[in-house]
Amino acid sequence: MVAVDQIKEPIITLRNVSKHYRNHYAVDSLDLCINKGESLALIGHNGAGKTTLLKLILGLTRSDTGSIKVNGQEPWQTSDRKSIAFLPEIVSFPNSMTGKELIKFYARLKNLPESECNKQLELVGLTDAASRKVGTYSKGMRQRLGLAQALLGEPELILLDEPTSGLDPSLRKKFYNIIEDCKSTGTTILISSHALSEIETRIDRIAILKRGRLVIHGTLDELRAAANLPVQIRVSTVTGQTPIVSDALKPETPFRKFNDHCIEFDCHQDEKLHVLKNLSRIPSGVTDIEILPPRLDDLYIHFAGEESDL
């Protein structure tokens, strides 16, 4: 099942795209539209075709079959590459240049003023390290420097390959805040990531790849509806009172007891109200009830199987 795109202004259109190396299909008969101003996440195990797909969109390699259009043009023929930014998973810069020298170099390529360099270095938190050699930067600092150069000139389309690799939790949060700010101005975001818990609430749509094929794509809610996985219900009680919950559930609902004050069980959507009604009849002892829908990790395993090495 593949969701139907609703917006009629795609910035990227892929039709029956395939790319193979010898006997291996890195991308296989793939159809996908990415709409202007939206954010879409590519997820899949290593070797699923995510990075190859990004390279095809960038025009760094050509497909063997099918059609790829970026703003109505084939990627290798596009006349305005300044409007497209790319941050690879492994950022490599000359160690002998300072952070500011490097950003100024990329700014000159886009005919941007030096003030734009200062703005981007401040945005990613590298102002104090701008005069240091890139060779002294940590992996996380290099990643932030890469983001700074990608954002130069307010690109219309940003492609990100494992962009938060090497960033600590606070910097990851700041990174996604920056990306959200870009999106709010109409920038299209295409992100490939293994960090499923990070991206599930930060993107508009998700595309799951497996062995080069598009398994499904859509919003998180659409993927949940298609998977029809059970929700988890977690009930907290006064210490020692979990038996009152298990008694209310038996025999129809198997449960997992975490400890003497928390119990968890699964139920399908059509059973949820009935189970909650049973819980509401418990006279006392329950302190909290949480309803947890399937996470993106669960959906990924459901659609792509267990071969993942995410």
pLDDT digits (tens, 9 = 90+) for 142-177: 989 999 999 998 899 999 998 887 788 888 888 899
8 A C-beta contact, residue 141 and residue 182: no
**pLDDT band, very low/low/confident/very high, at 1 (cuts 50, 70, 90):** very low
Strands (E), the chain: 10-21, 24-35, 39-43, 65-70, 84-87, 157-161, 188-192, 205-210, 213-218, 231-237, 255-259, 262-267, 286-292
CA distance 240 to 43: 42
Query: Tokens 């941050």 map to which residue?
Result: 87
Closest CA relative to residue 121, chosen from 139, 98, 93, 100 = 100
DSSP reduced 3-state for 194 = coil
**pLDDT band, very low/low/confident/very high, at 48 (cuts 50, 70, 90):** very high
Range in 27-31, 97-101, 182-186 the model is least confident about: 182-186
What are the structural domains of the chain?
10-96+143-225 (3.40.50.300), 230-293 (3.30.70.260)
Give me the half-sphere count of Cα atoms (radius 13 Å) on the Cβ side of residue 14: 25
Determine the average pLDDT of the residues in 66-76: 90
CA distance 128 to 9: 41
Which value, to the nearest 10 degrees, does the dihedral of the CA atoms of residues 83, 163, 301, 200 take? -70
Residue 53 has pLDDT above 60, yes or no: yes
Angle (deg, nearest 10), helices 169-184 and 139-151: 10
Q: How many residues does the chain have?
A: 310
Residue 123 has pLDDT above 80, yes or no: yes
Q: What are phi and psi of 212, to 5 degrees?
A: 85, -5
Residue 306 has pLDDT above 70, yes or no: no
Query: Tokens 């709409």 map to which residue?
Result: 35
Residue 275 has pLDDT above 80, yes or no: yes
Amino acid code (one letter) for 20: H
Residue 2 has pLDDT above 60, yes or no: no
Pair of tokens at residue 81? 């590459």
Strand duo 84-87 + 157-161: pairing: parallel
